[in-house]
């Protein structure tokens, strides 16, 4: 499918432990899909495998961004092809300011030697920071160094807004955010929603999905999707818990 | 020639290029001290330069010290034993120059010049095509301006000949010939370098640059620099450039002496990028009198082995000394650097910030010496040494020798070793940076706060240089 993020029968492991087991999912561009699932079922693993993390090995399966195979490509090539990952645990980069970091990421997307419009860049950066209610002082702080949990998540969304990928995977972006921050960050994401971007939102809480209303909700268990439905599935899950999914599976 | 041969030829060219054998020397013994070191060679150098008898004596004594002193391998690396002193040319005079044609310069070198943005006029010099960097115009303009202020800016031969009353008093006093084996070697065969005198109260606004004084002699390996800043004067001196220079020799052993008289300030900035076959063994020391300040900013990239520990002797009350250094050791390279602070008066203060980066199988060593005797009061030292390892093969060692006696003195010492983790690299690559770009960003971040202290044009060049080094280090 040309205008989708397509994951087909993906099997991936770390060491000799299989984590993704025949995982399949399609996120059409313009849609928001949520993935929920118990701790340790492989949600972050999925995100990292898609992003080309070198620690994981893929035994079989495929993944495409608008028809372009990404499995087997280097992480930077996948990023430039249009996949953005908002990390569950973002890394700190001492000595590198947020402004310089995002700038370097944008320059990496330009043709070699092309001029960079610094004035327009800062105008846009400040506007996006205003949207996220981030203090401008943040531009000169070092990437994630000494940030609170919530500040890190906001900084991930700032990068997402500046880099404008084709598909964004948000891995528990809501965890660590206070109530106001959750609303602000969600608004930021909602502004990005549109026909040109697809989202895969990993979360444990239905609350986030009240702000970012998903087109589809998937339940992941033991390395694959075991249930899919519309936004009401998240509400059902919140009420019943995961035991219901497990029982369901056992009886199937 | 087939393409294969062609590639091979080019590889060979690059492989041997940076060793001295690749350069052609005109056989002209009238200007050539020949190969190897002896009393005769030292006499020859004195003769060619038309030196006074006392200088020749100074050289001959130094030669004897050099011969007598053992190689300092009891504390330094065994690699020093691999220097072949008998195969070195100790002096080439102006009429004699190493040469090759521009066509013989490998393409990757030309490309590096391109990428570093080295001006056209300087490329040929740096590639070893021309022994003379044609900057006469710039240099003489600077010289005119300086002489109006009474500033003396020349080479050691001219300095000792034309201004003995100024230079003789300090020459070889901050760093005596017997200081160490390589200072002795330099004292025996020095040629090239800078002699600078700044008169009382003169504050030189523009940094003086050795760059403009590069000539055939500076290709030589035994530069000698002496800077005297008279009372209340100020000067910044910049040495080196970030371009890879194509050395005609594998041994470089310079001596730099700084004298900051009462209330004077000297800032000495070095950015050097040596090719991987060079032994760079340098002695640098300054004396700071009452209320004076000596500041070394030292940036070492490349070389097979660099040993360099800039120091300051704080001889007058309230004198200040500072060493800010960055060392980058790539595969097969060893940066053995550090700083020495000798407190010899009350209320003196010193600051050392040393950052080293080890890439691949690169190795960096920090050696510090801070000495505050117990008779002194209200002295302060701050030492900070940080090492960054790029991967598991790289190595770093720290030897901070701090001897501080007495109740009234304070020292602060911090050391850290950090790694660029695979997770950090992945994070940056997820934003679209290549592995090389990610590493150079991490390295630039690591040195960021120090680089801010550098003059603008140097910090920009340094950043680009780090990028080139990092790109080259990933597969
Ligand atoms: N580097 C690793 N080494 C060993 N095991 C790992 C590694 N990374 C992940 N795992 C294991 O893989 C399984 C899936 O982990 P993953 O982080 O993908 O889960 P998750 O669904 O994101 O969980 P959570 O909801 O807690 O974030 C876990 O059992 C985890 O311990
Ligand atoms: Mg997770």
Reported as a single tens digit per residue, the pLDDT across B224-251 is 999 999 999 999 998 865 555 555 567 8
Interchain CB distance below 8 Å, A85 and B430? yes
Q: Can you give the pLDDT at residue B475? A: 52
Judge whether B301 lies within some domain. no
Query: Residue A44 in 3-state DSSP?
Result: helix
Q: What kind of fold does domain A4-89+165-251 have according to CATH?
A: Rossmann fold (3.40.50)
Of A75-79, A143-147, A164-168, B79-83, the least confident:
B79-83
Chain B residues in contact with A95 by the CB 8 A cut-off are 442, 444-449
Band of residue B328 on the pLDDT scale cut at 50, 70, 90: very high
Chain A residues in contact with B428 by the CB 8 A cut-off are 91, 93, 101
Residues 5-44 of A with CB under 8 A from B: none
The rounded distance, in Å, linking the Cα atoms of A189 and A191 is 5
Neighbours of B407 (CB within 10 A): 7
Neighbours of B472 (CB within 10 A): 14
Query: Residue A217 in 3-state DSSP?
Result: strand
The rounded distance, in Å, linking the Cα atoms of B317 and B344 is 8
Q: What is the mean pLDDT of residues B123-149?
A: 60
- 3-state SS string for chain B: CCHHHHHHHHHHHHHHHCCHHHCECCCCHHHECCECCCHHHHHHHHHHHCCCHHHHHHHHHHHHHHHHCCCCCCCCCHHHHHCCHHHCECCECCCCCCECCHHHCCHHHHHHHHHHCCCHHHHHHHCCCCCCCCCHHHHHHHHHHHHHCCCEEECHHHHHHHCHHHHCCCCCCCCCHHHCHHHHHHHHHCCCCCEEEECCCCECCCCEEHHHHCCHHHHCCCCEEEEEECCCCEEEEEECCCCCCCCCCCEECCEEEEEECCCCEEEEEEEEEECCCCEEEEEEEEEECCCCEEEEEEEEEECCEEEECCEEEECCCCCEEEEEEEEEECCCCEEEEEEEEEECCCCCEEEEEEEEEECCCCEEEEEEEEEECCCCCCCEEEEEEEEEECCCCCEEEEEEEEEECCCCCEEEEEEEEEECCHHHHHHHHHCCCCHHHHHHHHHHHHHHHHHCCCCHHHHHHHHHHHHHHHHHHCC
Q: What is the mean pLDDT of residues B174-189?
A: 96
Band of residue B108 on the pLDDT scale cut at 50, 70, 90: low
Work out the burial of residue B206: count CB atoms within 10 Å of its CB; fewer than 13 is exposed, 13-18 middle, 19 or more buried.
exposed
Chain B residues in contact with A102 by the CB 8 A cut-off are 431
Please name the residues in contact with B27: beta carbons below 8 A apart, sequence gap of 6 or more.
none
Strands (E), A29-95: 32-36, 56-65, 68-69, 83-86
Chain A residues in contact with B433 by the CB 8 A cut-off are 76, 104-105, 108
Judge whether B158 lies within some domain. no
Q: Can you give the pLDDT at residue B49? A: 86
In angstroms, the separation between the Cα of residue A2 and the nearest Cα of chain B is 22
The distance between the two most distant Cα atoms of chain B, rounded to a whole number of Å, is 76
The rounded distance, in Å, linking the Cα atoms of A207 and A157 is 18
Overall number of domains in chain B: 1
Prediction ipTM score: 0.97
Please tell me the distance between residue A164's alpha carbon and the centre of ligand 2 in angstroms.
23
Minimal-distance CA residue to ligand 1 atom 29: A40
- Decide whether any atom of ligand 1 lies within 6 Å of the A203 Cβ: no
Judge whether B114 lies within some domain. no
Tell the residue number behind the tokens 């992003």, with chain if given: A51
Judge whether B430 lies within some domain. yes
Judge whether B192 lies within some domain. no
Band of residue B31 on the pLDDT scale cut at 50, 70, 90: low
Minimal-distance CA residue to ligand 1 atom 17: A44
Please name the residues in contact with A227: beta carbons below 8 A apart, sequence gap of 6 or more.
A218, A219, A233, A245, A248
* B82 near A CB under 8 A: no
Q: What is the mean pLDDT of residues B332-354?
A: 95
- Decide whether any atom of ligand 1 lies within 6 Å of the A243 Cβ: no
Interchain CB distance below 8 Å, A93 and B432? no
Judge whether B30 lies within some domain. no
H/E segment holding residue A226: strand A224-229
Nearest by CB: A95 against B423, B434, B445: B445
Q: What is the mean pLDDT of residues B427-435?
A: 96
Please name the residues in contact with A115: beta carbons below 8 A apart, sequence gap of 6 or more.
none
Interchain CB distance below 8 Å, B446 and A84? no
More confident residue, B213 or B319: B319
Please name the residues in contact with B416: beta carbons below 8 A apart, sequence gap of 6 or more.
B385, B386, B387
In angstroms, the separation between the Cα of residue B116 and the nearest Cα of chain A is 13
* A54 near B CB under 8 A: yes
Q: Can you give the pLDDT at residue B158? A: 87
Q: Please give the DSSP secondary-structure letter assigned to residue A229.
A: E
Band of residue B166 on the pLDDT scale cut at 50, 70, 90: very high
Judge whether B65 lies within some domain. no
Chain A residues in contact with B448 by the CB 8 A cut-off are 95-96
Query: A4-14 and A56-65: which strand pairing?
Result: antiparallel
Please tell me the distance between residue A219's alpha carbon and the centre of ligand 2 in angstroms.
14
Nearest by CB: A91 against B424, B448, B449: B424
Phi, psi of B419 (to 5 degrees): -125, 145
Judge whether B465 lies within some domain. yes
Query: Residue A15 in 3-state DSSP?
Result: coil
Domain interval for residue B471: 423-475
pTM, to two decimals: 0.82
Minimal-distance CA residue to ligand 1 atom 26: A39
């Amino acid at each position: 499918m040309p205008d989708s993020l397509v994951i087909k029968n993906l099997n991936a492991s770390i060491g000799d432990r299989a984590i993704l087991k025949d995982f399949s999912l399609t996120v059409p561009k313009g849609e928001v899909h949520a993935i929920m699932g118990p701790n340790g079922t492989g949600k972050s693993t999925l995100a990292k495998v898609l992003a080309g993390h070198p620690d994981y090995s893929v035994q079989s399966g495929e993944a495409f961004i608008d028809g372009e195979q990404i499995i087997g490509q280097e992480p930077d090539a996948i990023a430039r092809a249009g996949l953005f990952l908002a990390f569950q645990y973002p890394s700190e980069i001492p000595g590198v300011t947020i402004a310089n970091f995002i700038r370097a990421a944008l320059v990496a997307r330009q043709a070699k030697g092309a001029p960079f419009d610094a004035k327009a860049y800062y105008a846009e950066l400040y506007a996006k920071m205003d949207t996220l209610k981030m203090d401008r002082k943040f531009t000169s702080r070092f990437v994630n160094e000494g940030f609170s949990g919530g500040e890190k998540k906001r900084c991930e969304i700032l990068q997402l807004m500046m880099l404008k990928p084709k598909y964004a995977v948000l891995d528990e972006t809501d965890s660590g955010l206070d109530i106001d921050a959750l609303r602000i960050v969600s608004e930021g994401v909602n502004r990005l929603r549109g026909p040109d971007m697809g989202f895969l939102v990993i979360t444990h809480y239905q609350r986030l999905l009240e702000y970012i209303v998903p087109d589809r909700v998937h339940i992941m268990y033991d390395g694959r999707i075991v249930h899919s439905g519309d936004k009401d599935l998240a509400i059902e899950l919140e009420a019943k818990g995961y035991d219901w999914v497990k029982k369901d599976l056992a009886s199937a | 020639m087939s393409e294969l041969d062609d590639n091979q030829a080019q590889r060979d060219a690059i492989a041997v290029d940076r060793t001295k054998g690749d350069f052609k020397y005109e056989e002209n013994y009238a200007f050539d001290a020949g190969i190897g070191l002896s009393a005769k060679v030292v006499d020859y150098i004195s003769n060619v330069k038309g030196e006074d008898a006392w200088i020749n004596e100074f050289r001959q004594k130094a030669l004897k010290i050099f011969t007598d002193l053992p190689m300092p391998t009891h504390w330094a690396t065994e690699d020093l034993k691999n220097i072949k002193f008998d195969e070195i040319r100790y002096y080439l005079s102006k009429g004699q120059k190493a040469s090759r044609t521009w066509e013989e310069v490998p393409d990757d070198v030309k490309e590096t010049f391109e990428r570093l943005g080295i001006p056209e006029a300087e490329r040929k010099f740096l590639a070893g095509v021309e022994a003379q960097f044609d900057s006469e115009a710039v240099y003489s303009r600077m010289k005119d301006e300086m002489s109006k202020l009474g500033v003396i800016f020349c080479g050691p031969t001219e300095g000792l000949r034309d201004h003995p009353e100024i230079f003789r008093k300090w020459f070889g006093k901050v760093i005596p010939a017997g200081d160490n084996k390589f200072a002795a070697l330099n004292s025996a065969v020095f040629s090239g370098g800078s002699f600078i005198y700044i008169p009382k109260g003169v504050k030189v606004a523009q940094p003086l640059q050795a760059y403009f004084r590069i000539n055939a002699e500076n290709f030589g390996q035994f530069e000698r620099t002496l800077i005297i800043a008279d009372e209340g004067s100020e000067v910044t001196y910049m040495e080196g450039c970030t371009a890879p220079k194509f050395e005609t020799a594998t041994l470089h052993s310079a001596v730099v002496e700084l004298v900051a008289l009462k209330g004077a300030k000297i800032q000495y900035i070095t950015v050097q990028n040596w090719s991987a076959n060079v032994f760079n063994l340098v002695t640098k020391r300054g004396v700071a009198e009452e209320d004076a300040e000596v500041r070394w900013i030292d940036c070492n990239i490349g070389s097979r082995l660099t040993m360099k520990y800039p120091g300051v002797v704080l001889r007058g009350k309230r004198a200040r000394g500072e060493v800010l250094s960055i060392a980058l050791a790539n595969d097969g390279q060893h940066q053995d650097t550090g700083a020495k602070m000798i407190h010899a008066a009350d209320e003196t203060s010193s600051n050392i910030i040393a950052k080293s980066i080890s890439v691949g199988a690169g190795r960096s060593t920090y050696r510090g010496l801070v000495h505050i005797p117990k008779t002194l009061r209200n002295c302060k030292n701050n030492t900070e040494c940080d090492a960054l390892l790029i991967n598991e093969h790289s190595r770093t060692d720290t030897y901070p020798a701090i001897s501080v006696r007495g109740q009234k003195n304070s020292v602060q010492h911090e050391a850290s070793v950090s790694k660029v983790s695979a997770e950090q690299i992945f994070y940056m690559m997820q934003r679209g940076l290549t592995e090389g770009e990610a590493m150079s960003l991490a390295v630039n971040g690591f040195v960021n706060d120090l680089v801010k202290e550098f003059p603008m044009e140097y910090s920009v060049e340094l950043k680009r240089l780090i990028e080139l080094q990092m790109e080259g280090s990933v597969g």
